[in-house]
Amino acid sequence: MQFDQLLQYTLSGLATGAIYALIGIGFSIIYNSTGIINFAQGEFVMLGGMLTLFFLELLKLPLWAAIPCSVLASTLGGVLFERLAIRPLRQPTPINLVIITIGASILIRGLAMLLWGKDTHSLPPFSGDEPIAIGGATILPQHLWILGITVVVIVANKFFFYHTISGKAMRACAYNRRAAGLVGIDVRRMVLFSFIISSAMGSVAGIIVAPLTMTAYDVGIMLGLKGFCAAIIGGMSSGLATVVGGLILGVLESLGAGLISSGYKDAIAFIILLLILFIRPQGLFGKADTERV
Amino acid sequence: MKRFLTVCGAACMVALWTSLAFGAGTIKIGGLFSVTGPASFLGEPEKKTLEMLVNEANAKGGVGGMKLEAVIYDTTGDATKAVQLATKLIKDDKVAVIIGPSTTGESMAVIPVVEKEHIPLISCAAGIKITDPAKRWVFKTPANDHVAAEKILNFMAKQRQKTIALLTVTDGFGASGREQIKALAARKGFKIVADEVYGPKDTDMTAQLTKIRGIKPDAIICWGTNPGPAVITKNVKQLGLKIPLYMSHGVASKKYIELAGSDAAEGIMLPAGKLAIYDVLPKSDPQARLLREYDHAYRKTYGMGASTFGGYAYDAFLLVTGAIKKMGPGTEQIRNGIEQAHKLVSVSGVFSMSPKDHNGLDLSAFEMVRIHKGDWSLLK
- Do B207 and A254 count as a contact with CB atoms less than 8 A apart? yes
The band of B17, judged by pLDDT with boundaries at 50, 70 and 90, is: very low
> Residues, chain B, total?
380
The band of B119, judged by pLDDT with boundaries at 50, 70 and 90, is: very high
Residue-level pLDDT at B2: 56
Cβ contacts from A onto B, under 8 A:
97
pLDDT of residue B20 exceeding 50: no
Residue-level pLDDT at B185: 94
Q: What is the percent of chain A with per-residue pLDDT over 90, rounded to a whole number? A: 33
Give residues with Cβ within 8 angstroms of B159, minimum separation 6.
Answer: B219, B244
Distance separating alpha carbons of residues B168 and B317, to the nearest angstrom: 32
Residue-level pLDDT at B283: 85
Consecutive H or E run containing B28: strand B26-33
CATH T-level assignment (fold) for domain A3-116+137-279? ABC transporter involved in vitamin B12 uptake, BtuC (1.10.3470)
- Do B264 and A129 count as a contact with CB atoms less than 8 A apart? yes
Q: In CATH terms, are B28-144+290-362 and B146-280+365-378 the same topology? A: yes
Which of residues B220 and B171 earns the better pLDDT score?
A: B220
| Cα distances (angstroms) measured from residue B305 to each of A215, A247, B45, B86, B114 | 21, 42, 10, 29, 33
Neighbours of A126 (CB within 10 A): 18
A164-184 tens-digit pLDDT: 998 888 888 878 888 988 999
Q: Would the CA dihedral through A184, A189, A191, A194 be positive or negative?
A: negative
CATH code assigned to B28-144+290-362: 3.40.50.2300
pLDDT of residue B122 exceeding 90: yes
The band of B16, judged by pLDDT with boundaries at 50, 70 and 90, is: very low
Neighbours of A57 (CB within 10 A): 12
Q: What are phi and psi of A39, to 5 degrees?
A: -75, 0
Residue-level pLDDT at B18: 45
B330-369 tens-digit pLDDT: 999 999 999 999 999 999 999 999 999 999 998 989 999 9
Distance separating alpha carbons of residues A246 and A234, to the nearest angstrom: 8
Which of residues B208 and A32 earns the better pLDDT score?
A: B208
CATH T-level assignment (fold) for domain B146-280+365-378? Rossmann fold (3.40.50)
Give the chain B residue nearest A130 (alpha carbons): B238
Q: How large is the average pLDDT for residues B156-174?
A: 92
Which of residues B183 and B6 earns the better pLDDT score?
A: B183
Residue-level pLDDT at B171: 82
Q: Could you state, in order of their start, the residue ranges of all structural domains in chain A?
A: 3-116+137-279
Instruction: Work out the burial of residue B40: count CB atoms within 10 Å of its CB; fewer than 13 is exposed, 13-18 middle, 19 or more buried.
Output: buried
Give the chain B residue nearest A219 (alpha carbons): B201
Among A80, A33, A78, A27, CA closest to A185: A33
Instruction: Work out the burial of residue B11: count CB atoms within 10 Å of its CB; fewer than 13 is exposed, 13-18 middle, 19 or more buried.
Output: exposed
A100-139 tens-digit pLDDT: 999 999 999 999 988 988 788 888 888 887 888 888 888 8
Instruction: Work out the burial of residue B377: count CB atoms within 10 Å of its CB; fewer than 13 is exposed, 13-18 middle, 19 or more buried.
Output: exposed
Q: Could you say which of A13, A118, A120 has the minimum Cβ distance to residue B40? A: A118
Q: Which residues pair with B164 in a beta bridge?
A: B192, B219
Chain B residues near residue A122 by CB distance under 8 angstroms: 230, 258-261
The band of B21, judged by pLDDT with boundaries at 50, 70 and 90, is: very low
Instruction: Considering only CA atoms, give the Rg of chain A.
Output: 19
Q: Could you state, in order of their start, the residue ranges of all structural domains in chain B?
A: 28-144+290-362, 146-280+365-378
Q: What is the percent of chain B with per-residue pLDDT over 70, rounded to a whole number? A: 94
Specify the pTM. Answer: 0.81
Helix/strand number for chain B, H first, E second: 13, 14
Consecutive H or E run containing A39: none
- Do A131 and B240 count as a contact with CB atoms less than 8 A apart? yes
Residue-level pLDDT at B19: 44
Q: How large is the average pLDDT for residues B368-373?
A: 94
Q: Are B263 and A129 in contact (CB under 8 A)?
A: yes
Consecutive H or E run containing A106: helix A94-116
Q: Going along A135-274, which residue ranges are E strands?
A: 137-139
Residue-level pLDDT at B378: 92
Distance separating alpha carbons of residues B69 and A187, to the nearest angstrom: 61
B293-312 tens-digit pLDDT: 999 999 999 998 898 889 99
- Do B258 and A122 count as a contact with CB atoms less than 8 A apart? yes
Give the lowest-confidence range in A146-155, A256-265, B258-267, B345-354: A256-265
pLDDT of residue B22 exceeding 80: no
Among B104, B109, B105, B92, CA closest to B30: B92
Distance separating alpha carbons of residues A100 and A40, to the nearest angstrom: 9
Q: How large is the average pLDDT for residues B17-41?
A: 75
Give the chain B residue nearest A131 (alpha carbons): B238
- The distance of A5 to chain B (nearest Cα, Å) reads 6
Give the chain B residue nearest A118 (alpha carbons): B41
Please tell me what DSSP assigns to residue B372. Answer: E
Instruction: Work out the burial of residue B9: count CB atoms within 10 Å of its CB; fewer than 13 is exposed, 13-18 middle, 19 or more buried.
Output: exposed
B238 touching chain A per CB within 8 A: yes
The band of B24, judged by pLDDT with boundaries at 50, 70 and 90, is: low
Q: Is the peptide bond before B133 cis (omega within 30 degrees of 0)?
A: yes
Among B94, B90, B128, CA closest to B110: B90
Q: What is the percent of chain A with per-residue pLDDT over 70, rounded to a whole number? A: 97
Chain A residues near residue B226 by CB distance under 8 angstroms: 120
Q: How large is the average pLDDT for residues A27-54?
A: 89
Q: What are phi and psi of B246, to 5 degrees?
A: -105, 140
The band of A89, judged by pLDDT with boundaries at 50, 70 and 90, is: confident
